[in-house]
Structure 1
Amino acid sequence: MSRIDDSRDFIPVRIAVLTVSDTRDAADDRSGDTLVARLESAGHTLAARDIVRDDRTTIAGKLREWCADPDVDVVISTGGTGLTGRDVTVEAHRDVYEKEIDAFGVVFTHVSMAKIGTSAVQSRATGGVAQGTYLFALPGSPGACKDAWDEILKLQLDYRHRPCNFVEIFPRLEEHRRRK
């Protein structure tokens, strides 16, 4: 069963938060604020924060920029994961992924079902890895950001979480690039 192993030291992770929206700015970015408050409360570091428009090329460019930054371990985006014509965040993430974390979307849907019932089918939350950086795309509502953080990311980004977590495999994400 899932648990925190207090015999292990906590390892802070450097997390960038990206809000995708044509209408939000820093003054009313409630979802970004929710993520920042939660990651800092958990002991992690806010590595960067930005807001970009719903444009696939722009989103993918920002993701690539942060993946290339050695001071960013994780990128969490919020917004643009729905079904409307302007929702292109998932496609932008997939343009960048080297590997998709298929179960992230499944587990997020499971968590969402308990909160919003069958409306959970309208979310396309996704996760993946690129250049040794974890990337997660969350819906644009503060509630969805709370649910994803509280029920999934808070645990998987905690080195003490057992039986396994994302932090303990950081050193192995790029092993395919090393010479043998």
Structure 2
Amino acid sequence: MCKHFDAPDARADGVEAAFGYCDLKKLESEASSFRDDARHSCGSALKKMQALLEKLEHGAYNLSRMRESATNRYKGFQIPMSWMLETGIVSQIKLASVKLAMKYMKRVSAELETVGGGAEEEELIVQGVRFAFRVHQFAGGFDVETMRAFQELRDKARSCHAQSQSQQQQKLACSRSTPC
């Protein structure tokens, strides 16, 4: 690729563009191919997904900073830059984050089936909703499948809340009357 550029600055910019694209493509591929292994603990799986989302966010942010400073130089040296636009690799990164959010919420929903309620259940719900919100803000929305996973999480949260309230009412009624 570098042999196509005569000027050292053009070569440096060409290499910068190539490495930037490759790094982002690798990151997008890592996120797209992420598989949640049920054999790993929920906490471990959620941490991996959070770390991956942070890498996606940083990659998109760094690209936007690079795009601002590199646009004129790249145009001057006729270095392709369509991949740097919001419709290029950034849209693929955002889609990968949405798919990651779906996996995250499904994992939280599955874990809610196994926890016994209380603070752990509440913390899981809060984690799931925070992650979903963060991805929604980053990606600009959800696809249909991810929205369905969010609604499933919301329904489970409501069910857990209703169950918790019912248990509290039973305890209250029990303490007011004869020993249970």
| TM bucket, shorter chain | under 0.3
Greater Rg by CA = 2
Q: TM-score, normalised by structure 1?
A: 0.22
**Higher relative contact order structure (alpha carbons within 8 Å, sequence separation ≥ 6):** 1
Q: Which structure: greater strand fraction?
A: 1
Q: Quick check: which one's helix share is greater?
A: 2
